[in-house]
Amino acid sequence: MSQDLTLYLPLDSVAVSLGADDVAAALQDAAKQKGVALNLVRTGSRGMHWLEPLAEAEIDGVRQGFGPLEADDAATLIDALTSSAEAAPKAVGAVEDIPFFAQQTRLIFERCGRNDPVDIDAYRRDGGYKGLAAALTQAPMAVCETVFDSGLRGRGGAGFPAGIKWKTVSGAEADQKYIVVNADEGDSGTFADRMVMEGDPFLLIEGMTIAGVATGAMQGFIYLRSEYPIAADILEKAIKAARAAGMLGANVDGSGKAFDIEVFVGAGAYICGEETSLLNSLEGKRGEVRAKPPIPALEGLLGKPTLVHNVITLCSVPVILSHGAEHYRDFGMGRSTGTMPFQLAGNIKHGGLFEAAFGVTLGALVNEIGGGALTGAPVRAVQIGGPLGAYLPPSLFDLPMDYETMAENGAGVGHGGLVVFDESVDLLDQARYAFEFCAEESCGKCTPCRVGAVRGVEVMDRLRAGVDPELQKDVVGDLCELMVDGSLCAMGGMTPIPVQSAMKHFPEDFQPRPASDASRVAAE
């Protein structure tokens, strides 16, 4: 007797790295053996990493989850889902009722994990392309106004109001303009861009298309980091599908407007996540920062007006157009409107992606939602916003996550990544690492970053070795001041943030240490 069974299993990089492809193969084998006609739909991830690989089956109209699965679980799962006799292994209940998921406000990641990401019909059925439809009925400047009114700010880290950029590019006179997506997601502990590109690529395509329509750009580029092969594959397929469906090309959705997209895979430099380096790299040049002015919105790619946005920024646009600026603005607090996909990583029990309106507290994210450190030890520090973000202690866990509050406390939301450390962390090590990271990834153009980062590592080593510690602290202070005020871009300018936050909030780690301790560390 043949039975039909539809199962959903992520193709997302995290799920795959945790064995999703093995599980998929095992499920197919088991289904074959048992004579079950298995329709295995590979989807994006729901973003609950501790449950991956997380398979889903729709039972009575509700998606039920099973995870984290191993290949060995496949046969039992097939049995359980085809004959109600057996209890399903690792059942986690209705996926969208899991508290981690249920507490989220998913404006961006709404669809992610539900459908085959390259199925454009599924995207449409699930509410996709409504934003573009709305945009195509409006004048370009009106679209820019809507984005401006929504209060949307760049999600790449700088938090610059998106609408201002849109209006600038839209108003610039040029024979050619470009939309460039910064998908060079290189911050440690971040993965929101990847997840949405792998799980819901049409959302990005729609956001880019709206931007093209609004600014008059007819060509978009997605600058994708080379470490994301699955995303590259999904994006290529989705772009092809969108072209086939008439949603990209010379006549987008019959509007008479042209827009198309090309994926460009980078060459592995962190600095190419900085927008001007990215543009140089996209032009085939050395990935080196450009001085501003001119701003890319006026003279960007190949000297033409260019709207450069992070993936998440553009993925926030469709909902703004489909539901209106006011609807979007109702989420968040103050000048931080809308939602942010926080990415919980590091030493944390429930790591993953948590999309929430701005204003959620740091402590809630780390302890309540994330469940504290995976080791069970007390959390001692959280680094917010990537490797150039601040280290904050538990005493600041009451702070709400929004651009202004973070800035007031010497930190930044950045790209929404939170890396959690328990009490075993050595903040001097972390401060040294910040310089080391900068030295490794600096493009080498400006002096404070090129030479300063290397000297920063050396000074930290002297500090750790107890060589004239007060002098070293003075030197670090001056160096940090120079890097903040003097660096050409945010790479060098933000390197002092982890250093100085660590020194400020964890001064005990920078005190002279017992000789044995210092020599131990130095010998490592």
Partner 1 sequence: MALLKEDDLGTPKPKSEKTVRLEIDGFMVETQEGASVMRAAAEAGMSIPKLCATDSLNAYGSCRLCLVEIDGRKGTPASCTTPVVDGMKVRTQTDRLAKLRRGVMELYISDHPLDCLTCSDNGDCELQDMAGAVGLRDVRYGFEGENHGASEKDLSNPYFDFDPSKCIVCSRCVRACDEVQGTLALTIEGRGFNSKVSVAGADFLDSECVSCGACVQACPTATLQEKSVVAHGVPDRTVQTTCAYCGVGCSFNAELKGDQVVRMVPQKDGKANHGHSCVKGRFAWGYASHKDRITTPMIRDKITDPWREVSWYEAIDFAARRLKATQESYGRRSIGAITSSRCTIEEVWVVQKMVRTAFGNNNVDTCARVCHSPTGYGLKQTYGTSAGTQDFDSVEEADVVLVIGANPTDAHPVFASQMKRRLRAGAKLIVVDPRAIDLVRSPHIQAEHHLPLQPGTNVAMINAFAHVAAHERLIDEEFIRERCDHASFKEWLDFIKQPENSPESVAETTGVPAAEIRAAARVYATGGNAAIYYGLGVTEHSQGSTMVMGMANLAMATGNIGRRGVGVNPLRGQNNVQGSCDMGSFPHEFSGYRHVSDDAARALFEDAWGKPQDAEPGYRIPNMFDEACAGAFKGMYVQGEDIAQSDPNTQHVEAALSALDILIVQDLFLNETARFAHVFLPGTSFLEKDGCFINAERRINRVRQAMKPLTGMDEWRVTVALANALGYDAMQYDTSAAIMDEIAALTPTFQRVSHAALDENGSVQWPCNDAAPEGTPIMHVDGFVRGKGQFVLTEYVPTPEKTNRKFPLILTTGRILSQYNVGAQTRRTANSEWHDEDILEIHPADAEARGIRTGDWVSVRSRKGEITLRSRVSERMAPGVVYTTFHHPETGANVVTTENSDWATNCPEYKVTAVEASPANHKSAWQENYEATTPELRRILERGVVEPAE
Interface with partner 1 by CB under 8 A: which residues? 269, 271, 286-288, 291-293, 439-455, 458-459, 471, 475, 478-479, 481-482, 485-488
The bridge status of strand 55-59 relative to strand 62-66 is antiparallel
CB of 435 to partner 1, least distance (A): 11
Structure tokens at 110: 């709404």
Q: Name beta bridge partners: 333.
A: 336
**Rounded least distance, CB 451 to partner 1, Å:** 4
> What does 233-301 look like in DSSP terms, one character per residue?
HHHHHHHHHHHHTTSSBSSGGGSS--BEEEEEE--S-GGGGSHHHHHHHHTTS---PPPSSSPTTTS-G
**Backbone CA torsion sign across 68, 186, 155, 344:** positive
Q: Which of 283, 308, 304 is nearest to 176 (CA)?
A: 304
* CB nearer partner 1, residue 257 or residue 473: 473
Distance in Å, CB of 393 to partner 1, minimum: 28
Residue 14: φ, ψ to 5°: -65, -45
Is 309 in contact with 154 (CB distance < 8 Å)? Answer: yes
Structure tokens given for 462: 């002297």
Q: 203, 208, 216, 215: which is closest to 166 by C-alpha? A: 215
Nearer to partner 1, 102 or 291 (CB): 291
CB of 268 to partner 1, least distance (A): 11
| Shortest separation between residue 496's beta carbon and partner 1, angstroms | 12
Q: What is the dihedral of CA 377, 381, 385, 386, to 10 degrees?
A: -80
Q: Quick one: CA dihedral 374, 379, 385, 386, positive or negative?
A: negative
DSSP one-letter string for 190-221: --HHHHHHHH-HHHHHHHHHHHHHHHT--EEE
Give me the residues paired with residue 422 across strands.
Answer: 379
Q: Given the complex with partner 1, which of 128 and 154 has the nearer CB atom?
A: 154
